Amino acid sequence: METVHLKINNIPVEVPKGYTILQAAKQANIEIPTLCYLKDINCIGACRVCMVEAKMNGRPMRGLLAACVYPAEEGLEVFTNTPAVIKSRKTTIELLLSTHRKKCLSCVRNNNCELQKLALEYGVDEDHFESEDAGYELDEQSPYIVRDNNKCVQCMRCVSMCKNVQTVSVIGSIKRGYQVHIGSAFDKSLGESPCVGCGQCIVSCPVGALMEKPQEDKVWDAIQDPEKEVIFFTAPSIKATLGESFGMPIGTNVEGKMAAAVRRLGDGVKIYNMDFTADLTILEEAHELIERIQNGGTLPMFTSCCPGWVKFVEHYYPDFIPNLSTCKSPQAMFGAVLKGYYAQKTGMDPNKMFVVSVIPCTAKKFECTREQLRSGDGDYDDVDVALTTRELARMIRRAGLTFADLPEEDYDTPFNKATGGGVIFGATGGVLEAALRNAARTLDGDFKMIDFEEVRGPEAIREVTYNVAGMDIKVAVTSGLGNARKILEKIKSGEADYHMVEIMACPGGCINGGGQPYQPDSVRNYVDYKALRSKALYDQDKNSEMRSSEESPVCKMVYDEFFEAPGKEKAHKYLHTSYVARGNKMS
């Protein structure tokens, strides 16, 4: 490997050719501040926060260099904190703040904002430059994402994420100069665009310009309402990320404290385990796969538990709708189990049940509103509110609970137990692996293999063939919609013929969902946080007594008492759904 030698703050460094000054500095354990830079997503040298001074061959270079884009060169001497550099950064931040609506106290990103952090570090005067408030209207028309352009710093991270990573490109930079703002074509609302709602723009945003559509107040109201029976369930990945909101190391599994915390949000609040309906999804989906293979159904079958991915197919690849598994997502299945089966079993009125899912995801907020998912005849959605991990953390904080000190408790019965197959749903490859565990055991009672490690990563697209009961089963897994597009094009052109494909809209799967806790740039740019979060789930799976979904005693109970068996009529009525072509244009 070709390398270059340079000095950073007089420390000699040798780095691979092609490294930027920013990367080289990190190797010398020097962090240069950034704002618009986001590893693998946005590298455009726009914000001018990462400026450094440099000398070449002993002679000072003209002007300052943007460290995030300037290549490390042989003989370069870089200085990252000279008075000129500090002054430049300070002025830049003050200019950014001049047009920023500084309502920091009530901002969702208060204490969690990259701009606020820089302002503090550089001792800026936020009112140094006076400017008029641009007065942008809030875009809160979509059921999942709210945009406040008054706080936008035009770093382009959300645009780059949407266009380059997700290849959906429903937002862009509009106009120029002072009028520049981010939005959808013709300044329409995101809700009118073919946005899939993945929320990756939110977790890319360094400030409070983007947030999930907040719904905590609805839940607080329901908790106070004596008529309502408030029932929570938490998605598989939440236990692996919620702790981050309370300062715990990334990858801490907080399942027990999470159950304790939710239970303490209000009197009578129930907390169930959504890993159970992940298992239930697997039993239905693996059954559907086998049926499609044996009866000449549409192949490959695509997983359908990710609502961002489902909406992507509906908007951009409607021809592939028959390939989507008809299984509802675990969130929707849980809603149907509660307001269908459980209401009947216990005599509860489904109108009085207030079902709250906690999910890593903004697209699930949209999913709740899909009328195809209503299993009952009444005027109610099966899931009333979907809260992101961040929203749950805010509720726990407002309830005054010291999360770290809570005891470890269990989920409420009867929906408490799940298998390792349900747990790994939260990581890319997990759904497919759980489906393979179950399908292989259904086809071959003596099948022993439990770990299908090839589908776990880290490659962006994993294609594997497994021999099960004398049959070659070809599978593919990916996450991120840009990668999904590649797989779809391959299938379209006939280059690939899989039996089953797992796709998650967010890169890395639910553990990196658009509703997960914010991680600061210092983590996003330098730590493999996705791997750490996934590990928490795979570790739990490894230590589970039950690892394949058919072992789930809760699934057995609901089939015995209500749904009969996977694929049976009642199971179909409650646990399966349909999709609609939505068109890829602005509405």
Partner 1 sequence: MAENSLTFQGTKAQEEQLMSVIEQNKNVPGALLPVLHEAQEIYGYLPIEVQQMVADGLGVSLSEVFGVATFYSRFSLTPKGKHKISVCLGTACYVKGSDKILAEIENQLGIKSGECTPDGLFSIDSCRCVGACGLAPVMMIDEDVYGKLTPKEVGKILKKYMDEEGGAK
Interface contacts to partner 1, rule CB under 8 A: 163, 169-176, 184-186, 193, 585-586
Nearest approach, Cβ of 303 to partner 1 (angstroms)?
A: 26
Nearest approach, Cβ of 180 to partner 1 (angstroms)?
A: 9
Burial class (CB in 10 A: 0-12, 13-18, 19+), 295: exposed
Nearest approach, Cβ of 314 to partner 1 (angstroms)?
A: 17
Strand locations in 166-217 (E): 172-174, 181-183, 210-212
Nearest approach, Cβ of 144 to partner 1 (angstroms)?
A: 18
| Per-residue DSSP letter, 410 | P
Nearest approach, Cβ of 172 to partner 1 (angstroms)?
A: 4
380-404 b/e (C-beta count within 10 Å ≥ 16 → b):
bbbbbbbbbbbbbbbbbeeeebebe
Nearest approach, Cβ of 488 to partner 1 (angstroms)?
A: 15
Structure tokens at 184: 């959808």
Residue nearer to partner 1 on the CB measure, 158 or 554: 158
C-alpha closest to that of 326 among 307, 303, 308, 306: 303
Residue 233's SS3 state is strand
Residue nearer to partner 1 on the CB measure, 87 or 175: 175
First to last CA, the chain: 51
Nearest approach, Cβ of 262 to partner 1 (angstroms)?
A: 39
CA 526 from centroid of its chain's CA atoms: 19
Residue nearer to partner 1 on the CB measure, 164 or 224: 164
Residue nearer to partner 1 on the CB measure, 176 or 448: 176
Residue nearer to partner 1 on the CB measure, 170 or 219: 170
Q: How far is CA 415 from CA 41, 272, 560, in A?
A: 39, 5, 15
Q: Is the peptide bond before 414 cis (omega within 30 degrees of 0)?
A: yes
- Residue 450 backbone phi and psi in degrees, to 5: -115, -35
Instruction: Report the alpha-carbon angle 115-166-198, nearest 5.
Output: 70
Residue nearer to partner 1 on the CB measure, 565 or 586: 586
Residue nearer to partner 1 on the CB measure, 333 or 484: 484
Residue nearer to partner 1 on the CB measure, 3 or 173: 173
- Region of residue 45 (phi > 0: left; psi between -120 and 50: alpha; otherwise: beta): left
Helices 83-98, 114-121: inter-axial angle, 10-degree rounding: 140
Nearest approach, Cβ of 324 to partner 1 (angstroms)?
A: 24
- Residue 187 backbone phi and psi in degrees, to 5: 55, 30
Residue 327's SS3 state is strand
Nearest approach, Cβ of 187 to partner 1 (angstroms)?
A: 8
Residue nearer to partner 1 on the CB measure, 42 or 357: 42
Residue nearer to partner 1 on the CB measure, 565 or 581: 581
Nearest approach, Cβ of 160 to partner 1 (angstroms)?
A: 12
In whole angstroms, give the CA distance from residue 233 to residue 214.
18
Q: How far is CA 226 from CA 357, 410, 471, in A?
A: 20, 25, 56
